[in-house]
Each structure stands twice: as C-alpha cells, then as structure tokens.
Amino acid sequence: MRDLMRRIHARGHEIGLHPSYHTFRNPKELANEAGRLRRVCAEEGIEQAQWGGRMHYLRWQMPLTLQGYVQAGLDYDTTLGYAEAPGFRCGTCFEYPAFDPVKGEPLALRIRPLIAMEASVISSLYLGLGTGEEAFECFSRLKGRCRAVGGTFSLLWHNSELTTSAQRDLYERVLAD
C-alpha cells in the first residue's frame, strides 16, 4: 500500500482520506484515521499542501460530519452528492466554505460538491442507464451545465467499475467530453 501511495504521489496526484464506514458520525475516529494517513505519508516522503476526503456511501450527518472533518484538520470534503441520482445536492458546482448551522459559524473546511457518481447513472439500483449512449448523455448534460457557469464537474468513478470494456469506454468518453 505504501508503494502504491508513493507511485500515486509521484504521478502528481493527491492522496486523500476515505475513512472507515462509521466515521461520518464519529469525529474522534475520523481524526485518528486522518492522523494515521498523514503520519504514513510523512514516513514515505509524501508532502502535499491540502488534505481532504470523502465518506463511504456518501454518508453524512449534519453537523457531526462537518465537525469531524474540522477536528481531523482536513482542508476539504468531497462527499456531498446524491447516491440515488447525479445532480446538484449542494445547489452549486463551485467549492464553498463549510458552515456549522448549529453554532452559526463558518468552519475551516471547504466543501467540493460531488456532481456525479458512476453508480448513480449506471447501476440498476439507481437510474439504471447502463454504459451506453443514454448514460453518456446524462454525464455530458451535467458536465455541460458545470462548464456553462465555469464550475467544476466533480466525478466519482470507482476503480471496481472499470473492469469491462464498456465501462472503460464510457469513462474515457466522459473525461474527453
């Protein structure tokens, strides 16, 4: 795993935290896992200006998850998107400062909205569009909406969904669009 992290970093990619399943409501464990990631990266000579993450299954509990990210000293989160369907859960495709609605104060955390996850479009559990033209058009529409306002099209595509040629072809088309 350490070798993989070094290779990812050497390619110029950022290392991020994908914390364990229940951390979305356990700030202490989230902070422990973030600390462990930073420690391992330091041991491997991996330095980066920012640290961020995304929760398993896009799980989120307001404001507990926000507080966990802040306690963990993370700079940004990329969780906030819909699993059921792609789109604008945050109402925007621009990064913005997090805000604690209970305390009524801004947080030292940035939210990077997730616009689309491959499973939301492809999987029969959600939209069920498969890997054909209809799926491509769905991704393309969302990407176009982001592009029209100069925003960021944030895409989550699991590596486990790049096993068939149809999945890889769709992924490459979405990136090239």
Q: Mind listing the domains of the chain with CATH numbers?
A: 1-78 (3.20.20.370), 80-177 (no CATH)
pTM of the model: 0.93
Residues of the chain with pLDDT under 50: none
21-44 pLDDT per residue, tens:
999 999 999 999 999 999 999 999
pLDDT of residue 171: 98
130: left (phi over 0), alpha (psi -120 to 50) or beta: left
Q: Can you say whether residue 101 is alpha, beta or left, with left for phi > 0 and alpha for psi between -120 and 50 degrees?
A: alpha
CA angle 81, 74, 119 (to 5 degrees): 25
Structure confidence at residue 146 (pLDDT): 98
pLDDT for 22 equals: 96
Q: What is the predicted pLDDT for the residue at 31?
A: 97
Structure tokens at 92: 């925007």
Tell me the two tokens of residue 36: 């462990």
* Residue 115 CB neighbour total at 10 angstroms: 26
Q: Are 108 and 142 in contact (CB under 8 A)?
A: no
Distance CA 115, CA 156 (A): 8
Instruction: Yes or no: say if 86 and 117 are a contact pair by the CB < 8 Å rule.
Output: yes
C-alpha to C-alpha distance for 130 and 21, rounded to whole angstroms = 27
How far apart are alpha carbons 30 and 22 in whole angstroms? 9
Q: Order the strands of the 76-77 sheet from edge to edge.
A: 52-53, 76-77, 105-111, 96-100
Residues 58 and 83: beta-carbon distance below 8 Å: yes
End-to-end CA distance of the chain: 32
C-alpha span between 169 and 138 (Å, rounded)? 15
